[in-house]
Amino acid sequence: YVWCRRTDELVDGPNASHITPKALDLWEQRLNELFEGRPYDMYDAALSNTVSKYPVDIQPFKDMIEGMRMDLKKSRYKDFDELYLYCYYVAGTVGLMSVPVMGIAPESKASTESVYNAALALGIANQLTNILRDVGEDARRGRIYLPQEELAQAGLSDEDIFKGKVTDKWRSFMKGQIKRAR
C-alpha cells in the first residue's frame, strides 16, 4: 500500500504541479526494476521483498500508473464508463494487488475469480466514495470526477460544482451517485 500511496502522491501531492508524463515513465521503470529485484530505496525494497515471496502480478501496478497518466491528461469524465475505467486504474488495482498477499483461506468455498472480482469491486467502490467525499476539494483543483452526461441529465453544470451550491437537484443527483457507490 505504501507504493500505492507514493504513486498517488505523484499526481495528488504537494509537488503534483511539477509531475510530467516523463516522471511517470521513470516511476514505471523503477517499478520494473523492483520487480526484477533491483529496488531504488527502502520502500521499493519492501515491495521487492513482498513480490519475491508472493505471486504478485506487475500488471495492476502498471495499470495504476496508467491511471495517474489519466489524471495528468483529464479533468472530466464524459460518462460512467470512462469514470469506471479511471476508478479501475487508480483503486480497483489496489484490490487486485492485495489478494496474492492476503491470500484466500484454504477452507473458503469462494473461487479465486470471485475473490479477485470482490477485491476489484471494493477498490472501485472506495474510489467512487472518495470522489463523492472530495467533490469540493477536487473542484478547487479544477477537476470534476462526476460523469458529465449524468450531471447534464440532472440539470447541473460544472459551474454549479465550482460554486459549491447545494440545491435539491444536487441532493437528488448525489443520492444516485451514493447508491451506485454502495
> Are 178 and 90 in a shared domain?
yes
User: Of 71, 57, 73, which Cα lies nearest the Cα of 131?
Assistant: 71
**Residue 26: per-residue pLDDT:** 95
Q: Long-range contacts of range 14-21, CB-CB < 8 Å, 24 or more positions apart?
A: 19/72, 20/72, 21/69, 21/72
Stretch 16-45: mean pLDDT? 93
Per-residue confidence (pLDDT) for residue 15, from 0 to 100: 76
Q: State yes or no: pLDDT of 16 exceeds 80.
A: no
What is the C-alpha separation between 119 and 126, in angstroms, rounded? 11
Instruction: Report the alpha-carbon distance of residue 8 to residue 87 in Å, rounded.
Output: 13
Same domain, 120 and 164: yes
Residue the block writes with cell 520487480: 35
From residue 142, alpha-carbon distances to 71, 74, 75, 136, 164 in Å are: 12, 10, 7, 10, 13
Cα first-last separation, the chain:
23
Q: Are residues 175 and 101 in the same domain?
A: yes
Q: Do 123 and 173 share a domain, yes or no?
A: yes
In a domain, 67, yes or no: no
User: Residue 56: is its pLDDT beyond 80?
Assistant: yes
Does position 143 have pLDDT exceeding 90, yes or no? yes
Q: Are residues 43 and 123 in the same domain?
A: no
Task: Classify residue 68: in a domain, yes or no.
Answer: no
Per-residue confidence (pLDDT) for residue 130, from 0 to 100: 96
- Asked if the model's pLDDT at residue 32 lies above 90, the reply is yes
Do residues 98 and 148 share a domain?
yes
Mean pLDDT (whole number) for 30-55: 96
Is the pTM value of this prediction over 0.85? yes
Range of the domain at 107: 74-182
Task: Please report, as a single letter, which amino acid is at residue 55.
Answer: P
Specify the pLDDT at position 36: 96
Whether 82 and 9 share a structural domain: no
How far is it, in rounded angstroms, from Cα 101 to Cα 55?
8
Is the pLDDT at 100 greater than 90? The verdict is: yes
Whichever domain contains 91, its CATH number is: 1.10.600.10
Phi/psi for 147 (5° steps) reads: -60, 125
Average pLDDT, the chain: 94
Is residue 138 in a domain? yes
pLDDT at 134: 96
